[in-house]
Structures are given as structure tokens and as C-alpha cells.
């Protein structure tokens, strides 16, 4: 029994020493800028990056303090610190993200590189009461009061802010259209009145729509045309 205990003790000691040496080797390689450094890079929400938005990105390392890491990307910009970053890229395609360590003496050493795919953001389009145009049956009890910009089949949390749009309404009762213009996303009471009381086959259009994208750039949004069905 004593012999068995001694054998178990010796094996445990050998395993501990081996593990300690292996870990020390990894730390040493990290400090020397070895490409095999244990750095993990992954987009926080999606598994790829998109143009036109700020992509959250996480960088982790078990051995290097996160505050010592510097992150950059080709054809783009990285902001943030301590392992949490926001990445913006200018064009679609494969991008190289570089993780470096800044030492106490000011020296910067590249410790890891990762290739990330980047895709173009889906085209933004305007909607009224959830519709992007076409035939519409007016619900007089629920007239929409805002224009909204959406992206089809895209789960990323993106926000567009409409800054202005024009409105065209052509009733079947008149040959002259009614026109209006708004400096925000809101549908005015006068517009709501026209829509609510629209006759069958009347037409209304939201056009000259402009919106700020998630990066604050002004975008032109395609017009949407509705034909009233009653």
C-alpha cells in the first residue's frame, strides 16, 4: 500500500512539473512575439464583419494583460481597449487583423494575426406600417405615424435615422396631387388624414428619403409607392 502511494505521488509530481514547464514555454513564446501565442480573436455578434457599421470584436489572452494589447486591421479602423473593440471596415473582402503587445520600454511586438471575412451591409430600404410599397389596405384605426428604415434578413442591431422625406398623394377624386415635406421621420397629421381617407386606387408615395446610417453618413433611400385597395 505504501509503495502504491509513493508511485501515485511521484506520477502527480511529474505531471505538475511538466504542466508548469509547458505553461512557462507558452508565456515565453508570447513575450517573444511567437505566432502561436494563445490569442483568441472573434467577432462578438456575427462570425464575420460588415461594412457600414461598428462591429463588436473580442480579443482574449490567458497570459498577456489585455491593457497591453494593441489591435489594428487592414482597410479599416479599430477603437476600444482591454479586449473589447469596435471595428469599422471600408470595403468587403478578407481583412487581416493584427494583435500586438506594447512592452514597458515602448517596443511593440506583433503576437498574432487573424484573417476575417467582411461583407457589404444589405441595402437599406424604407417601410411604412411594415410594408415597403405595393398594394395596401388602410387600417383606419392604426395609421402609421413614422417612416422606418430596415435591412432585410439582417439580425445585427442597426439604427438608421431618417432626416427628411417628401410625400406625394394622388386621389382618384382629383387631378391635382397633394405634396408635403418633412424634416424628420414623422408622418404629419395632414398626411395621416390623406392616407386614412384615401379612396380605392388612390396612390401615395414617400420619396426623396434621406437617412443617417449607423456611422453617421447621410444615405439616399429609394422611394416607396403604395396603391390603396378597398
Which segments within the chain are labelled E, that is strand? Answer: 40-43, 49-50, 55-60, 69-73, 76-81, 84-89, 93-102, 108-119, 124-128, 134-136, 147-151, 161-170, 178-182, 203-212, 218-221, 224-228
- Residue 37 binned pLDDT confidence (cut-offs 50, 70, 90): low
Kindly state the average pLDDT of the residues 174-197. 95
CATH top-level class for 33-119?
mainly beta
pTM above 0.85, yes or no: no
Residue 27: pLDDT over 70: no
Helix (H) or strand (E) holding 29: helix 2-31
pLDDT at 156: 74
Residue 130 DSSP SS3: coil
By the 8 A CB rule, do 26 and 111 touch?
no
CATH 2.60.40.10 region(s) of the chain? Answer: 33-119
Q: What percent of the chain has pLDDT over 90?
A: 60
Distance (Å, whole) CA 46 – CA 37? 24
Confidence of residue 38 (pLDDT cuts 50, 70, 90): low
Q: Kindly report the average pLDDT of the chain as a whole number.
A: 83
pLDDT digits (tens, 9 = 90+) for 211-225: 999 999 999 999 999
DSSP state of 138: -
Q: In whole angstroms, how far apart are CA 27 and each of 39, 79, 165?
A: 11, 26, 58
Q: Give the architecture-level CATH label for domain 124-228.
A: Sandwich (2.60)
Nearest to 88 by CA among 100, 99, 79, 96: 79
Amino acid at each position: 500500500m505504501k509503495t502504491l502511494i509513493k508511485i501515485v505521488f511521484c506520477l502527480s509530481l511529474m505531471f505538475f512539473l511538466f504542466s508548469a514547464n509547458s505553461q512557462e514555454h507558452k508565456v515565453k513564446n508570447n513575450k517573444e512575439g511567437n505566432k502561436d501565442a494563445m490569442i483568441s480573436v472573434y467577432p462578438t455578434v456575427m462570425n464575420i464583419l460588415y461594412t457600414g457599421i461598428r462591429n463588436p470584436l473580442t480579443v482574449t489572452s490567458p497570459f498577456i494583460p489585455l491593457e497591453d494589447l494593441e489591435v489594428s486591421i487592414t482597410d479599416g479602423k479599430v477603437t476600444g481597449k482591454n479586449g473589447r473593440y469596435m471595428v469599422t471596415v471600408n470595403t468587403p473582402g478578407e481583412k487581416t487583423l493584427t494583435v500586438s503587445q506594447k512592452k514597458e520600454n515602448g517596443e511593440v511586438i506583433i503576437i498574432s494575426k487573424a484573417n476575417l471575412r467582411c461583407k457589404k451591409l444589405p441595402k437599406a430600404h424604407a417601410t411604412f406600417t411594415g410594408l415597403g410599397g405595393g398594394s395596401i389596405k388602410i387600417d383606419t384605426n392604426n395609421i402609421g405615424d413614422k417612416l422606418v428604415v430596415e435591412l432585410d434578413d439582417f439580425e445585427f442591431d442597426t439604427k438608421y435615422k431618417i432626416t427628411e422625406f417628401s410625400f406625394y398623394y394622388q386621389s382618384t377624386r382629383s387631378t391635382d396631387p397633394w405634396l408635403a415635406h418633412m424634416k424628420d421621420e414623422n408622418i404629419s397629421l395632414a398626411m395621416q388624414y390623406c392616407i386614412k381617407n384615401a379612396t380605392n386606387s388612390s396612390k401615395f408615395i414617400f420619396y426623396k428619403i434621406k437617412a443617417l446610417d449607423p456611422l453617421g453618413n447621410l444615405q439616399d433611400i429609394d422611394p416607396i409607392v403604395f396603391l390603396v385597395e378597398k
